[in-house]
Amino acid sequence: MNTFLNAEQEALVSRYRSYVTESIRPLAAALEQRSHSLKDVLQMLGHEGFLSINVPKEYGGQGNPFINLCLFIEQLSRVDAGTALAIAAHQAVIELIVQFGTSKQKSRYLPLLARGECIGTFAFAEENAGSDYSAVQTVIETNNAEDVSISGKKTWVVNGDIANLIVVCGRFEKGDGQPSRLCLWLVDRDDKAGINVFKNRNKLGLRSASTNDIEFSQCKAASDAFLGPIHPKDASDDKDANEQIMRAMDIAKVIVAASAIGLLDEALHKSVEHAKAREQFGANIGKLQAIQWKLADMSAESSAARFLTYRAAWSKDLAQDEFCKFAAMAKYNAARAARLHSGEAVQIFGALGLSDEETLEKMYRDAKMMEICEGTSEIQKNIIAHEVGA
């Protein structure tokens, strides 16, 4: 019993757990090997209502708090954290449109995103702009009164091969000799020329989520498809875009934190079962203090990571200024705990932990990824230090 949740949320956790066990667990290995379509799974999740949990009701969502989405992600990640990463990118787009979109953009995209009929992603990073978005070089320039044209190459775009809607971060060229301004633009992928998606990058973990480079070559987008309070041609600095990037990343970070605690909980559960069953030297390994302490550390640190993650989600739901700080803390702490203790879970399983007969090796690979994706641990520490006034 998790006493930090109300009875309704406890019931949701049970429902989420049953659903992922019955519907996603059987697909997890095929998703990891990319022999089962992630797009089909996301569409199925959309159809079942798991992508609309916190989308406002007036746009076809359920209007539930963000923490409910985190509870779903936690349960999903017991089975496959890669699918959770794909949802993190999708949800970041939903959040950007909810917070910064016009009513036309909201009515057009949110119902589709909520149903999984449109898959979203954000394309911020470039070869020379990873942690540092101010180095983005993608150019957005006015074509005519109706259109802008986007040129540049993005990298590590989650859902890059399946997304219909891409939020592109670029520099708006006013064409008046003034410095360009960082901004975010909605690119509706359907019927668009000038978008070249490169093949999925092979990576250590989170393999069911695709990560693609995308090249935009004079790609046209509507002039009013920018996100934010004022048209970038009227902006005087990068302030608005920085704010939007942070908001998108905060959401994605807390989703990754929720994913990390779900993964860790599953690793703990499996480790306890193995420790109780495995005998060496005529005795159960679970009786050894060396093993018990690993399990104790895993349990204590996963509980601490869970409370911090829920704290971050609550501060989002309560619209607290502290959300940014708690999002960074949750992501940093949960990803670290997941990497450390999924490694200890492998150790408890011995050679079996290294084999793909068990899912421990996958969890270990997935957990390491969480210290880098959606902002590295070092960047989270910079944010926390800044937020505490250092």
Ligand X SMILES: Cc1cc2nc3c(=O)[nH]c(=O)nc-3n(C[C@H](O)[C@H](O)[C@H](O)COP(=O)(O)OP(=O)(O)OC[C@H]3O[C@@H](n4cnc5c(N)ncnc54)[C@H](O)[C@@H]3O)c2cc1C
Of 131, 178, 218, 355, which lies in the binding site for ligand X, with binding defined by CB under 6 A? 131
Site map for ligand X, 357-376, x if CB under 6 A?
Answer: ------------x--xx-xx
Cβ nearer to ligand X, comparing 136 with 268: 136
Q: What is the DSSP string of 274-286?
A: HHHH-EETTEEGG
What element of type H or E holds 238? none
> Counting contacts by CB under 6 A, is residue 215 touching ligand X?
no
Q: What's the distance, CA 104 to chain centroid?
A: 26
From candidates 156, 172, 185, 216, binder to ligand X by CB under 6 A: 156
Cβ neighbors of 317 (< 8 A, separation 6 or more) are 65, 66, 67
286-305: which residues touch ligand X (CB under 6 A)? none
Q: How far apart are CA 231 and CA 167, in angstroms?
A: 16
For residue 217, the minimal CB distance to ligand X (Å) is 18
Q: Which of 71, 86, 268, 379 binds ligand X (CB under 6 A)?
A: 379
Tell me whether residue 353 is exposed, middle or buried, using C-beta atoms within 10 angstroms of its C-beta: 0 to 12, 13 to 18, 19 or more: buried
Contact window for ligand X (CB under 6 A) among 37-45, 152-160, 272-280, 317-325: 152-160
Q: Specify whether the CB–CB gap between 268 and 341 falls below 8 A.
A: yes
Q: What region does 190 belong to: left with phi over 0, alpha with psi -120 to 50, or beta?
A: beta
Give the residue, chosen from 45, 53, 125, 305, that forms a contact with ligand X under the rule CB under 6 A.
125
Instruction: Choose, by CB under 6 A, the member of 16, 59, 124, 185 that binds ligand X.
Output: 124
CB 333 within 8 A of CB 305: yes
CB 313 within 8 A of CB 305: no
Judged by beta carbon, residue 120 or residue 286, the one nearer ligand X is: 120
Among 9, 62, 151, 382, binds ligand X (CB under 6 A): 382
Among 121, 180, 208, 212, binds ligand X (CB under 6 A): 121
Token duo for residue 319 = 């619209």
What residues from 61 to 100 belong to the interface with ligand X (CB under 6 A)?
Answer: 89
| Shortest Å distance, C-beta 73 to ligand X | 15
**Crossing angle for the helix pair 289-317 and 323-349, to the nearest 10 degrees:** 160
Smallest separation (angstroms) from ligand X to the CB of 383: 10
- Helix 38-47 vs helix 103-115: crossing angle, to nearest 10: 110
Closest CB to ligand X: residue number:
130
Residue 133 C-beta: closest distance to ligand X, Å: 8
Size of the site for ligand X (CB under 6 A): 21
Query: At its nearest, how many Å lie between ligand X and the CB of residue 119?
Result: 12
CB of 373 to ligand X, least distance (A): 3
Contacts of 130 (CB under 8 A, 6+ apart): none
* Paired tokens of 124: 């911020």
Q: Give the three-state DSSP class for 129.
A: strand
CB neighbour list of residue 73: distance below 8 Å, 6 or more residues apart = 84, 87, 88, 255, 258, 259, 262
Residues 31, 206, 225, 255: which binds ligand X (CB under 6 A)?
206
The one among 31, 45, 123, 328 contacting ligand X by CB under 6 A: 123
| CA–CA gap between residue 71 and residue 255 (Å, rounded) | 9
Q: Is-contact 267 363, C-beta < 8 A?
A: yes
Question: Considering just the CA atoms, what is the radius of gyration of the chain in Å?
Answer: 21
Q: Which of 66, 72, 100, 122 binds ligand X (CB under 6 A)?
A: 122
To the nearest whole angstrom, how small is the minimum distance from the Cβ of residue 154 to ligand X? 6
Residue from the set 157, 248, 268, 363 that interacts with ligand X by CB under 6 A: 157
Stretch that binds ligand X, among 5-13, 36-44, 52-60, 123-131 (CB under 6 A): 123-131
| Minimum distance, C-beta of residue 3 to ligand X, in the bound complex (Å) | 34
Q: CA-CA distance, 10 to 258, in Å (whole number)?
A: 16
What lies within 8 Å, CB to CB, of 321 at 6+ separation is none
Which of 56, 65, 130, 194 contacts ligand X by CB under 6 A?
130
Residues forming contacts to ligand X in the complex (CB under 6 A) are 89, 121-125, 130-131, 156-158, 206, 211, 369, 372-373, 375-376, 378-379, 382
